[in-house]
Chains A and B, each alone.
Chain A
Amino acid sequence: MALLETKNLGITFGGLRAVGEFEISIEKNELVGLIGPNGAGKTTIFNLLTGVYVPTEGDILLNGESIVGLKPYQIVKKGLTRTFQNIRLFKDMTVLDNVKIAFHHKMQYGVPNAIFRFPGTRFWKEEKEIDEKARELLALFKMEGSCNSLAKNLPYGEQRKLEIARGLAADPKLLLLDEPAAGMNPQETRELMENIHFIRNNFDVSILLIEHDMHLVMGICERIIVIDYGMVIAKGLPDEIKANKKVIGAYLGN
């Protein structure tokens, strides 16, 4: 059974059909690219998968179970997290707290325990555990030095990295990255590619990635799906996509 499977997925805004007949199937530990010209509907697909928009047609199955109609936070619990095209960090919180938030849904202690912090209660155990986990995760991304800085004070590339780390902290089975290299210089992009490789090798996670940087997409994705005007126009291996006439047409204009 595929990790993620969509069937005839679509959404119409007013009269505009932003996405239609979208079918994708992602297996465990796959790295899939989603590309297409500006306004093709890529981010909209992410919004459908993560529950930000409710589809007007079709179904989304995560581990064989429909997640249509669930709230975004419930979908996170099921194992699907994302990053945003225009970075969305908790800017005035520390780097460490940004990561800790993502552990929220794994924690149990209630409000009474937050106020009555008797020794040996869940509060202490869980807070200690996530503090360690968050620091470990940041160390993996070589960010342990900026644990206590505010997220907004990080350099741009680091902010992108932090957002990915935060997404991973939620312990997803599938991670959606929306243009992670946008706004990065070549050096930062190279580091990002290394990091994505690193995530693949060290986390048990599949990745679906939107990207305009063709060098990056072709370099790391195992499979690529191309959409234009909300419809899939091509699917296949990077080399097949590069040679596909429809794809070239979509990017260059017919």
Chain B
Amino acid sequence: MKKWQEYGTTLIGIILLYIFLIVLMAVGLVNGYHQGVLVLIGINVIAATSLNLATGYLGQLALGHAGFMAIGAYTAALFMQMIKVINLPVDIALVAALIVGGLMAAFFGVIIGIPALRLRGDYLGIVTLGFGEIIKNAIFNLDFTGGARGYRGYLGSINLTKMYIIVAIVLTVLFLLIRSRHGRAMISIKEDEIAAEAVGVPTTFYKIFGFATSAFFAGIAGGTLAFYQKMIDPKKFTFMYSVEIFIIVVLGGMGSITGTVVAAVILGVLNEFLHVIDQWRLVIYSILLVIMMIFRPEGLMGSKEFSFVGLVKWLLKKMNKSSVGDDKDSASLEVK
């Protein structure tokens, strides 16, 4: 397959999946409540894939992802309030607010990344852990955030369709980034930082860049959460939430974007059944994690990816096998 055919196949796959979702909604298999669950899963998908960029690809332990989400959420919300006067179409304002929220989170990512990432080792884990707590406490004690009561102001709205589009865009951007020279540079740092530097990769730059990009998308996840819930509850952005996102990454596979998606969906659905025993949720997560570490330490997908292109190639192969001999043209497809 040519490159553009591969991109086309992926695009069609994304659209077909969406149509499938629409059909499920139309026939009532996915009701309003389910849609809400799916939107929340979408938010976790963005949060966890962005964390995977820092942890699974760049190899840096980051434990304060909820902090970046909080920054994105409040920045996006306040920005939305600010640009209300200029009366932009609501969806354009929403996209702008999400990006501004992401940029603010990325800015903080750079600020804490510069001192923490210059050092080798797991300093970043400790710094990000502290950072997450500081952000939470700051939010509780500042005025413009609404303090512990939470933020209520003018916020756009997000439905399943918009969420789907946002998730598709974020995942696509992450994929394209990872499969470029910049992504290779990041992965080489995880593999062997000293060797990466020794073949010409500016490792400090890429560590800060990768970490800031990870924070950027966490900020976007935070913004979408604010817009979906139409308010911001500061109690959401605890250390436990960072851990929850981390668990999704580990379950899905460090270094697998689609694995993270699968894990986010599984945990999201599981969550629905665990609501009644909420205090036990993290206990069950931990048990899941232990089981995973015993039987499949690399996560559900390891560093493999599901791809529509792979699926199509596989299907073509199957079809060829079932029609051996009677069609030379389709047999040659396999070779190409």
Contact = CB atoms under 8 A, between A and B. Distances in A.
A190 interface: no
A90 interface: yes
Given A90-B192, A93-B191, A166 B199 contact: yes
B195 A73 contact: no
B305 interface: no
Interface string B158-202: 000000000000000100110011111101100110111111111
A88 B194 contact: yes
B137 interface: no
B256 to A, nearest CB: 12
A52 B196 contact: no
Interface in B116-130: none
Given A107-B181, A109-B181, A72 B188 contact: no
B182 A76 contact: no
Interface of B is mostly: helix
B202 to A, nearest CB: 5
Contact of B203 (A73, A102, A115): A73
A233 interface: no
Interface in A90-147: 90-93, 97, 100-105, 107, 109, 111, 114-115, 117, 123, 126-127
Contact of B198 (A77, A88, A103): A88
B157 interface: no
A114 B180 contact: yes
B200 A77 contact: yes
A71 B204 CA distance: 10
Nearest to B203: A73
A69 B114 CA distance: 20
A71 B118 CA distance: 13
Interface in B200-228: 200-204, 209
A152 to B, nearest CB: 10
B10 interface: no
Contact of B182 (A89, A102, A105, A114): A114
B201 A90 contact: no
Given A73-B203, A114-B181, A115-B173, A90 B187 contact: yes
Nearest to B193: A88
B202 A93 contact: no
B303 A50 contact: no
A76 B195 CA distance: 11
Nearest to B213: A111
A114 B191 contact: no
Given A101-B185, A115-B177, A91 B202 contact: no
Looking at B180, B204, B303, which has the most chain A CB atoms within 10 Å of its CB?
Answer: B180
B2 to A, nearest CB: 11
Contacts of B197: 71-73
Given A52-B194, A91-B191, A81 B199 contact: yes
A151 to B, nearest CB: 9
A17 B194 CA distance: 24
A167 interface: yes
A115 B181 CA distance: 11
Contact of A82 (B177, B181, B198, B201): B198
Contacts of A91: 191-192
B215 to A, nearest CB: 15
A84 interface: yes
Contact of A76 (B194, B198, B209): B198
A170 B181 CA distance: 14
B192 A76 contact: no
Nearest to A166: B199
Contact of B199 (A52, A71, A102, A107): A102
A123 B179 CA distance: 11
Interface of A: 50, 52, 71-73, 76-77, 81-82, 84, 88-93, 97, 100-105, 107, 109, 111, 114-115, 117, 123, 126-127, 166-167, 169-170
Given A91-B192, A104-B184, 7 more contacts: A73-B201, A84-B198, A90-B188, A92-B303, A101-B185, A104-B185, A111-B209
5 contacts: A73-B201, A89-B191, A104-B200, A107-B181, A166-B199
Interface of B: 173, 176-177, 180-185, 187-188, 191-192, 194-204, 209, 303
